[in-house]
Structure 1
Amino acid sequence: AKGWVAGYPNALPRAAVELYRSAAAGDLDTAVPLYRQLHPLHRWDSKVEFVQAIKLSMDVVGRHGGPCRPPRVALLPEQEAAVRAATEKAVAAGLR
Structure 2
Amino acid sequence: MNDDAVFRALADASRRQLLDRLHARNGQTLSQLCEGLTMSRQAVTKHLGVLEAANLVVTRREGREKRHFINPVPIGEMAARWIGKFERAQVDALVELKHSLEE
Which of the five TM-score ranges fits, normalised by the shorter chain? 0.3 to 0.5
TM-score (norm 1): 0.33
TM-score (norm 2): 0.32
Which protein has the larger Cα radius of gyration, Structure 1 or Structure 2?
Answer: 2
